[in-house]
Amino acid sequence: RQRTLREAYDRLHEMESLADAAARIESLDAEIAETERLLEAIDTTGFEQLSLQIAALGESIRSLQREIDGLNAELGRLEERCTRLAAHEQELTGRLERRRDAVRGFLLEYPDEAAGCEQYYRAQITREQKQAGSLDYPEILSRWQRAVTGFTTRLENARSGLRELKQAYNRDFNALLPTEDDRSREHRDALVRFEQTELPAYRDRIQRARREAEAQFREHFVSRLNEYVIQARDSFTEINSILNVIQFGRDQYAFTIHERPEKRGVLEVIRTAAEIRSNEGTLFEALSSDEERAEVERLFERILDNDLDSPEVAEICDYRQYFQYDIRIRHTDSIDDKTGRPQESMLSKVLREKSGGEAQTPYYVAIAASFYRYYQDDPDAVRLVLFDEAFNKMDDDRIEKTIDFFRKLQMQIVTAVPTEKMEFIAPYMDQTNLIVRKHHHAHVREFRVLPAEAPA
């Protein structure tokens, strides 16, 4: 009951407030009507234009904001670049100071180079201005840095080479001079000592040794080689005189000897030096032309730069290497229509164009003439000539002519031939033996060609 009364009491209070609200409704309705009248009296035609302006202003504000953001970003980058440039400026300042210190240190160590460095700098700047019309210092610096890199490499290589030379000097001359000193002070002192004190003491001995070497060169090498050259020419002349009166079949042979073109300078010097008497001064003083002196210098150097048993020295001392040799063949049975004389051919050409016995024959003629020249100084010589498998490429006619040629020169031939050649050579021999090997024993039997029996 009490609860019901309480609820009713509360509702009575609410109804009291509603009574006041009802009284206010009329005034509110009046206010609403007034407001609607005022709204209808307002001119709204400019609202759309204002809305467009507000939208345009908003877009301008957003564009300005983007520009402000971009400028702020650019400002940040510029501030960062300024920071880097400040650091780079500080680095360049440090490098500049170090280079100035290096230049001052260089000029303190080498004061005589200051004027030369300044002159070089001015010359380079002037050249740059003439070529480019202006001074592009970054490009000049870039080229200078590349040049410095190259010079640094060359300097290191030069230092390495200098160090190796110093080590070689210590090794070859049993010295203990330092090898890491770039100024080479002790080496310079040693050079001055050698040039001013020790070397003059050896000059007289060096000159005397050179005169003795020249005398030995002239007496033992030049004179001996000139004698060999003269003997070679005389020998060929004598052999040709022998061949001139001996005819091989219908051919006549003669040796030819010509100076090699590349050896003519040496031969001329040898002939000139051989004519100089021992009391006419040194060899170089006696030579009349610079070409002859240069030729002797080259000859000296080739001998001194090689071992005495080297192929180079052997070639220089071998007189046979100074000439070209050939054999001229005169064909008496063939007349040249133009000259009316017997046609001639050279062995070198025959060897290129022909083969077999025709190319082999001149060798036996040369061997026969050479042995004849060798034996003629001894009248009691047996004049024996040994061959192995001789005449193996020659036909019967050439074999007969060759053996007859040796007989005319009173030569005795001893030759070993294969079995298949025996029947062709035996008829021209005074004695023929057949050697037969069985197991580990060799048996010698006389071989004779029996005359053919007459038919019954």
Question: What average pLDDT does range 268-275 have in this prediction?
Answer: 75
Instruction: Encode pLDDT of 287-318 as tens digits.
Output: 667 777 777 777 777 777 777 778 888 888 88
Instruction: Encode pLDDT of 163-193 as tens digits.
Output: 888 888 888 888 878 887 666 778 788 888 7
- Cα(371)–Cα(411) distance, integer angstroms: 8
Query: Which CATH number is 377-456 given?
Result: 3.40.50.300
- Cα(147)–Cα(167) distance, integer angstroms: 30
Question: What average pLDDT does range 357-373 have in this prediction?
Answer: 79
* pLDDT above 60 (res 116): yes
- Report, in angstroms and rounded to the nearest whole number, the Rg of the chain calculated over CA atoms: 59
Tell me the backbone φ, ψ of residue 329, rounded to 5 degrees: -110, 120
* pLDDT above 60 (res 282): no
Non-local (6+) Cβ contacts of 344 within 8 A are 328, 329, 330, 331
Percent of the chain with pLDDT over 90: 1
Contact present, 344 and 328 (Cβ < 8 Å): yes
Asked whether the whole model's pTM tops 0.85, one would answer no
What is the structure's pLDDT at 371? 85
Domain ranges (residues) in the chain: 116-175, 210-353, 377-456
Q: Measured in whole angstroms, how far is the alpha carbon of residue 336 from the centre of its chain?
A: 53
Average pLDDT, the chain: 79
H-helix segments, 219-327 = 223-244, 264-274, 283-286, 290-304, 311-317
Non-local (6+) Cβ contacts of 268 within 8 A are 292, 295
* pLDDT above 70 (res 453): no
Compute CA distances 147 → 63, 113, 151, 158, whole Å.
Answer: 54, 20, 6, 16
H-helix segments, 110-222 = 114-132, 137-173, 185-193, 199-216
Tokens, residue 8: 């009713």
